[in-house]
Structure 1
Amino acid sequence: MEGNKFNSKEVWMHFFIWVSIYAFILYQFANEFDQIPFKLLVKLGIGLVLFYCNYFLLVPFLLLKRKLLVYFIVSMVALVVLGFISHEFLMHDRVPPINGPLRPRPLEPAVGLRRFPLLMPDTAIFALHFVAGALTRIYKEWNRSEVLKKEIENQRVNSQLQFLKTQLNPHFLFNSLNAIYSLSEKKSNDTGEAILNLSELMRYMLYEANGDKVSLASEINYIENYVQLQKLRLPHTATVQFKVTGDERNKEITPLIFISFIENAFKYGTDYKGNTHVVINLLIKERSIEFKIENTIGRKKRVLQSSGIGLTNIKDRLLLLYPDNHELLVNKGETLFTVLLKLNLV
Structure 2
Amino acid sequence: MVLLKFNLTYFLVSTDVWPEGPEVINHLTVNYVVDMMIGELYVIAFVAAIKITFDWLEENKRLTDLEKIQLETELQFLRAQVSPHFFLNTLNNIYALSITNSNKTSKVIIKLAGLLKYLLYETKKKRQTLENELHFIENYLEIERIRHGNKLEIDMSISGDIQNKTIAPMLLISFIENAFKHGVNKNIDKVRISINFKIIKNYLYFFISNPKPQELQKMGYINTVKYEGGIGLRNVKKRLTLGYKDDDYLLKIDDLGEKFNVKLKIKVV
Normalised by the length of structure 1, the TM-score is 0.64
Residue from 315, 323, 326 that aligns with 2:249:
326
1:204-223 aligned within 5 A: 204-223=118-137
How far is 1:189 from its partner?
A: 2.6
- Gaps of at least 5 residues in structure 2 are 22-34, 217-225
Contact 1:282–1:291 at 8 Å: present in 2 too?
yes
1:39-188 aligned within 5 A: 78=1, 80-82=2-4, 84-85=6-7, 88=10, 108=20, 123-188=37-102
Quick one: structure 1 residues 300 and 259, their matched pair in 2 at CA, closer, same or farther if it must change by over 3 Å? farther
Is 1:236 the counterpart of 2:150? The answer is yes
Count of aligned positions: 245
1:7-26 aligned within 5 A: none
Consecutive aligned runs of 4 or more in structure 1 exceeding 6 Å deviation: none
Render the CA deviation track for 1:121-177: whole Å, top value 9, x for unaligned: 654443333222111111111111111111111121122122222322111101001
How far is 1:210 from its partner?
A: 1.0
Quick one: structure 1 residues 311 and 255, their matched pair in 2 at CA, closer, same or farther if it must change by over 3 Å? same
Instruction: Show the counterpart of 2:112.
Output: 198
Distance in structure 2 (CA, Å) of the matches to 1:197 and 1:274 = 26
Is 1:345 the counterpart of 2:268? The answer is yes
How far is 1:81 from its partner?
A: 3.4
Q: Look up the equivalent residue of 2:142 and give its one-letter code.
A: Q
Distance in structure 2 (CA, Å) of the matches to 1:282 and 1:198 = 23
Q: Look up the equivalent residue of 2:201 and give its one-letter code.
A: E
Contact 2:196–2:206 at 8 Å: present in 1 too?
yes
Quick one: structure 1 residues 86 and 203, their matched pair in 2 at CA, closer, same or farther if it must change by over 3 Å? same
Quick one: structure 1 residues 328 and 93, their matched pair in 2 at CA, closer, same or farther if it must change by over 3 Å? farther
Residue from 165, 169, 178 that aligns with 1:255:
169
Quick one: structure 1 residues 129 and 86, their matched pair in 2 at CA, closer, same or farther if it must change by over 3 Å? farther
Distance in structure 2 (CA, Å) of the matches to 1:132 and 1:90 = 28
Larger radius of gyration: 1
Distance in structure 1 (CA, Å) of the matches to 2:81 and 2:202 = 30
Contact 1:87–1:122 at 8 Å: present in 2 too?
no
How far is 1:185 from its partner?
A: 2.8
Instruction: Show the counterpart of 1:283.
Output: 198
Normalised by the length of structure 2, the TM-score is 0.81
Percent of aligned pairs sharing the same letter? 33
Indicate the SS of the match to 2:194. strand
Is 1:317 the counterpart of 2:239? The answer is yes
How far is 1:190 from its partner?
A: 2.2
Distance in structure 1 (CA, Å) of the matches to 2:227 and 2:264 = 23
Q: Look up the equivalent residue of 2:232 and give its one-letter code.
A: G
- Gaps of at least 5 residues in structure 1 are 1-77, 95-105, 110-120
Render the CA deviation track for 1:229-253: whole Å, top value 9, x for unaligned: 1111113355312211111111111
Instruction: Show the counterpart of 1:336.
Output: 259
Q: Look up the equivalent residue of 2:108 and give its one-letter code.
A: A
Structure with greater contact order relative to length (CA < 8 Å, sep ≥ 6): 2
Distance in structure 2 (CA, Å) of the matches to 1:289 and 1:306 = 22
How far is 1:323 from its partner?
A: 3.5
Quick one: structure 1 residues 175 and 146, their matched pair in 2 at CA, closer, same or farther if it must change by over 3 Å? same
How far is 1:339 from its partner?
A: 0.7
Render the CA deviation track for 1:230-287: whole Å, top value 9, x for unaligned: 1111133553122111111111111011111100101111364332221111111221
Distance in structure 2 (CA, Å) of the matches to 1:345 and 1:146 = 30
Contact 2:145–2:152 at 8 Å: present in 1 too?
no
